Structure 1
Amino acid sequence: MNILKDKADCLIMDNFEKKINFNMRKKTIASVTQEGWQEIPHVSYIYEADATKFYEEFRKLKASGRYKRDISFNTLLLRVIVEGIKAAPQLNAEIRYNTFLISGRVTIKEKININMPVLLPGGEMMTVNLRDMGGKSLEAMTEQIEGIKEIIKNCDMERSLLKVGLKDSLRKLHQGKVIEVAGRGLGMVIGHRKTEEGSSVKKNGSLLDREALDQGTITVSNLGAAVKGTKGRIGLLDIIPPQVCAIGIGVLQEESRVYLVEERETRVGIRKVIPFTIAFDHRALDFGEVAPFINRLEAVFNNPAVIRNW
């Protein structure tokens, strides 16, 4: 009797299936991530930073009233990553590789244009391009991030992505990728009006320009900004072609650790720890190129007074 009842319940639940068509945001994510996993041999390393002294320095900086804008801890961490990229410029690059000929080329980019996922009004994620982060002060970085977040509140993300996608398709067509462009064009036409129910993305709002949605030179994802009050580490990240590296910032958490007090003296205590995940394309990079990035971050966290000059 119970078995029949359980089966009946299953049949009833089947009648309540909910099918959700991909909107332009999900189509974009699906396309670039699938391409990345098909082409790129991913390697992932987790660096755990003792950020105790760094966090104390941040609080002093906030209390000093030095900046006109409210500098967030997440923006400060983004600036730390920029410092690491400057020390390891090979991470800020793109790769061109021919599998048949086993030949490739890595081009190191001068400007650090960071692709960063941000929260849309309804809780969805969308990646935007923070341009020239290597040439900006901490306050200028804050201004750019706040500006993009403000625009997103009133933008029509579907139309923005469609506009950028059409331009990108023309670029791929120029490269001779006819079949790929044909499939992409068909996908844009079929069902592009069918979006998720309850989506808070505004219709007929402002459009984000290509610069805000275009491909950057490296991707940085901040898990700590999305899931506050939890513990966790990012195990692996998507690398978006032709980028060669993606960096994930984990949640700031307190842990019991052995730490160095003086040159040869250690103690056990509660420390603030931030896990950073570095995923890289093994065709373009190995740990020799990644090590300077980690070493620079370690230097900043051990001597956080340097942030006063940012």
Structure 2
Amino acid sequence: MALTRSTHFGIARKIVSNMTAESWEQIPHAGLVYEPEVTAFLAECKKLNEGCTDKSKKITINTVMIKVICEGLKAAPKMNAHLEFNRKLVRGCLHEFDHVDVSMPALLPNGEMMTLNMHDMGNKTLTEMTEAINDSLRRAKNTDLNEVMFEVSLDNTLQGLK
């Protein structure tokens, strides 16, 4: 994932960011749940798999949703960014990227959940996305995840100590 642009906050954005962070800490929040009517959407998703007998090649609703998210991020590139803000220093920067990477939850064969980081999904077709997801799941299935988690934990600890 290559960085395409970094924009440092000007004074106006610093003020708004600082006030937003303060409000987030001090003011009670309310949530909203919206349940859209997706019958037609699901019917279109079902059509994608008509005539497909190979279960590994079927396009899942998760894959379609990832495609929808990727297309949305490509249409609004400022949303495909990392926001960095240090409230104590009142400094911030928006880092925009050229690739759309997606993290998705996956259920492993042993029943545990794992987050898969799927790289450059914005340039893939639905079929390519399905193949990439299946390949990641296959690799996770054939990996000693306890050893991987130990290595990640050790690396995070060492980075924190630096």
TM-score by length of 1: 0.38
Q: Does 1:163 align with 2:151?
A: yes
CA distance in 2, matches of 1:128, 1:73: 16
Q: Could you give the per-residue CA deviations for residues 265-298 of structure 1, whole angstroms, max 9, x where no partner exists?
A: xxxxxxxxxxxxxxxxxxxxxxxxxxxxxxxxxx
SS of residue paired to 2:35: strand
- Would the aligned equivalents of 2:73 and 2:79 in 1 still touch at CA under 8 Å? yes
CA distance in 2, matches of 1:75, 1:125: 17
CA distance in 2, matches of 1:46, 1:87: 25
RMSD: 2.7
Unaligned runs of 5+ in 1: 1-40, 173-179, 183-310
After TM superposition, give the deviation of residue 140 of structure 1 in Å.
0.5
Greater helix fraction, Structure 1 or Structure 2: 2
Among 100, 124, 127, the residue aligned to 1:136: 124
Q: Does 1:53 align with 2:33?
A: no
Aligned length: 133
**Aligned equivalent of 1:94:** 82
SS of residue paired to 2:130: helix
TM-score by length of 2: 0.69
Amino acid at match of 2:63: T
- Specify which structure has the bigger relative contact order, considering alpha-carbon pairs within 8 angstroms and separated by 6 or more residues: 1
- Would the aligned equivalents of 2:66 and 2:102 in 1 still touch at CA under 8 Å? no
SS of residue paired to 2:137: helix
Q: Could you give the per-residue CA deviations for residues 151-173 of structure 1, whole angstroms, max 9, x where no partner exists?
A: 22221111112223344445x3x
Q: Could you give the per-residue CA deviations for residues 62-107 of structure 1, whole angstroms, max 9, x where no partner exists?
A: 2155x99221222112211212222232332112222212111111
Structure 1 stretches of 4+ moved >4 Å = 41-47
Amino acid at match of 2:48: L
* Correspondences of 1:129-278 after superposition (within 5 Å): 129-170=117-158, 172=159, 180-181=160-161
SS of residue paired to 1:49: coil
CA distance in 2, matches of 1:102, 1:74: 38
Unaligned runs of 5+ in 2: 1-23
Amino acid at match of 2:128: A
**Larger Cα-atom Rg:** 1
**Aligned equivalent of 1:21:** none
- Percent of paired sites with the same residue: 37
After TM superposition, give the deviation of residue 56 of structure 1 in Å.
1.7
